[in-house]
Amino acid sequence: MRNDLTRGLARRVMTSGKLRHLLLGQPPGGFDLAGEKQLDWGWVMAKSAGLQGRALDIGSGPSPVPAALQAAGFDTTAIDLEPFQPFVVPLFRVIQGDFLEWDFGSERFDLVILCSAIEHFGLGGRYGAADENDADLRCMRKVKGLLPVDGRLILTLPLGQDYVLRPWHRVYGRERFPRLIDGFRVVDARALARTAGGPWQEVTVETALNHPKTPQRYALGEFVLQPDN
């Protein structure tokens, strides 16, 4: 009986927006971003279709993307501090480690995925990351060095007016977003936004970059990038 009461209390704590705000530092009412990951995963898989070769998924966590890439024929590598890809199949490698510190030697990848990951680089207190103000910019420079000139980077991230909601994520706006993608050119792009509790709607990237500083939600930016030289 005591265990049942304890589990019931724990469920109420985790499902109460007010308690999550107090205990976990989420904004009042929690995050209003339902469906974000599914939209981003859909973009990644749609834009990797027709490509082939070696793929690297950075910050994969428990995402279905690495398994989908392997099933599509990519020689796939997933890297994360906590990768949680609990299976072994041919042409699939899991690295538990810090992407910024990992030595890939002479390896190159035809496709690199940064899906809902770049915004967490350098923000301590979540995912075991260390504090480093420009870790996200350093990550992008390292990615460029792993791509051939005709390689592709599929990037998804929060867009809106520039700010950092520690320890959760950065939001990229007119100041930091151009710095982030410096050295790349945009091949394809999609942006989405929603009002409180409403459906996601496609908007222009310009509109997304103007999304107000609202802790509960941000706009989504989804991009296909290629090294510019």
Sketch the domain layout of the chain as residue ranges.
1-28, 31-227
pLDDT recorded at residue 109 = 98
Q: Report the pLDDT averaged over residues 202-225.
A: 97
Nearest Cα neighbor of 56 from 136, 116, 111, 117 is 111
pLDDT recorded at residue 15 = 41
Q: Report the pLDDT averaged over residues 12-32.
A: 59
pLDDT recorded at residue 21 = 44
Is the pTM value of this prediction over 0.75? Answer: yes
DSSP code string of 104-148: -TT---SEEEEES-GGGTT-TTSTTPPP-TTHHHHHHHHHHHHS-
Would the pLDDT of 18 be above 50? no
Judge contact between 98 and 59, C-beta under 8 A.
Answer: no
133's CB contacts (< 8 A; 6+ apart) are 122
Give the count of beta carbons closer than 10 Å to the beta carbon of residue 227. Answer: 18
CATH number assigned to the domain covering 31-227: 3.40.50.150
Q: What are phi and psi of 189, to 5 degrees?
A: -155, 150
Would the pLDDT of 23 be above 70? no
The C-alpha atoms of residue 83 and residue 73 are separated, in whole angstroms, by 20
- The rounded mean pLDDT for the chain is 90
Would the pLDDT of 80 be above 80? yes
Summarised one tens digit per residue, pLDDT across range 186-202 is 999 999 999 998 999 99
Q: Report the pLDDT averaged over residues 106-131.
A: 90
Give the count of beta carbons closer than 10 Å to the beta carbon of residue 23. Answer: 11
Would the pLDDT of 163 be above 90? yes
Judge contact between 67 and 87, C-beta under 8 A.
Answer: yes
